Amino acid sequence: MTLFQHVKTQWITDLRSGQAVETLFRIVEINRRQKKDGSAFLALTLMDRTGKIDAKVWDQVEQTEKAIQPGEIYTVSGTVREYHGRPEIHIQRIQRAPDPAVSESRDFSENAAFDVDARFGALIAFVSERLKNPELIQLLEVFSLSHGEAFRRHYGAQKIHHARIGGLLEHTDSMVRLAAIVADHYKLDRDVMLMGALLHDLGKVGEFSTEPAVRATPEGGLLGHIVISLEMFNDLCRRVPGIPEDIRLHLQHLIVSHHGEREFGSPEVPKTREAMALHAIDLLDSKLAIFLEASQRAVSNQGFSDYIPAISRRIMIQNPPEGDD
């Protein structure tokens, strides 16, 4: 094999420890870290259409760091090693791929784990069938037409949970269905619960971009998704005359309080039963997603996960990656 060939010949799912690698990858993430002796190395995340893999650059760190950036496609030469039971690539050389070599961009694009169009349609139908307020039904239609295309494919977060194509839809769909059950069980305002769950994270479509790499937008970095969600909700409301003021205000409150506490980013704490319920549902779905995703990343016979900073613990692996159905 010729060094730095510019054709995609190897795929992440097929890589095994000890294998030589020389093929194209998209760089998803670049982090500069320190060895125990204080010298620097680069920790990369690489991607092709089959998945993601960690990679390390141990030599010529300064030169390499200046030459690469997230979202771009490079020819990578190195060797697959095993680290904590998982494969990673130790990179010897890396070089930007020429434009003709990357015409098949779908080889480096992430696919959703489900049919996003079908799931989004089912979500809108689920909410529509249960809403009673005619103005909220109209608001639902305006949301679907205005933001549905971006919403159905967006990540649910940059890193922590649902950080994948369709993740925002997956997280929102789970929350909406839980909100319907919780509203009926506790005799809450079901219309407010459904629309609050549907729109609480809408601002994530403006908080960060996912192409060519996941990175915060200027608005996302300066305002955050809660403020952006509130602005987008207010814009939707301006296009639907007649929404009762008490309902509009209540939905605004659900959006700004859904993180539960000010130290976790909420401008306000939950002050209604519906707001408290929405926060609890959001916490439940996000935390259980972290548990599930850690189990999916685990290797065979791994009893406990690595330490997970987002939840300040290691967790027991309950679902082997191959038995995840």
Give the pLDDT score at 1: 40
Mean pLDDT across the chain, nearest whole number? 88
Q: How many domains does the chain have?
A: 2
- When pLDDT is averaged across residues 272-284 and rounded to a whole number, the result is 97
Residues 173 and 255 in one domain: yes
Closest-CA residue to 254 (of 314, 189, 162, 310): 189
Coil vs helix vs strand at 80: strand
Q: Answer yes or no: is 42 within a domain.
A: yes
**Is the domain of 38 the same as that of 141?**
no
Average pLDDT over residues 232-259: 97
Same domain assignment for residues 130 and 260: yes
User: Cα dist. 320→161, 185, 285, 301, 323 in Å?
Assistant: 18, 34, 20, 8, 5
Q: Looking at residue 99, what is its pLDDT?
A: 63
| 4 located within any domain | no
CATH number assigned to the domain comprising residue 282: 1.10.3210.10
pTM comes to 0.80
> Does residue 243 belong to any structural domain of this protein?
yes
- Residue carrying the six token digits 């060939």: 5
* Beta bridge mates, 192: none
| Shared domain check, 136 and 80 | no
CATH number at residue 31: 2.40.50.140
**Residue that is last in its domain, among 86, 108, 130:** 108
Residues 159 and 82 in one domain: no
DSSP state of 60: S
Are residues 230 and 183 part of one domain? yes
Pair (166, 56) in one structural domain: no
Most confident segment among 81-85, 215-219, 234-238, 311-315: 234-238
129 and 271 in a single domain? The answer is yes
Q: Is residue 2 part of a domain?
A: no
Residues 35 and 164 in one domain: no
HSE of 82, CA atoms in CB hemisphere, 13 A = 6
226 contacts 256 by C-beta, under 8 angstroms: yes
Residue type, 318: Q
Structural domain of 147: 116-292
Residue 164 tokens, joined: 């994948």
Whether 203 and 170 map to the same domain: the answer is yes
φ, ψ at 318 (rounded to 5°)? -105, -25
Is residue 104, in this structure, part of any structural domain at all? yes
∠ CA(106), CA(108), CA(110), 5° rounding?
80
Please give the residue that has the higher pLDDT: either 214 or 174.
Answer: 174
181 pLDDT band, cuts 50/70/90, is very high
Asked if residue 52 and residue 181 are part of one domain, the reply reads no
Band of residue 263 on the pLDDT scale cut at 50, 70, 90: confident
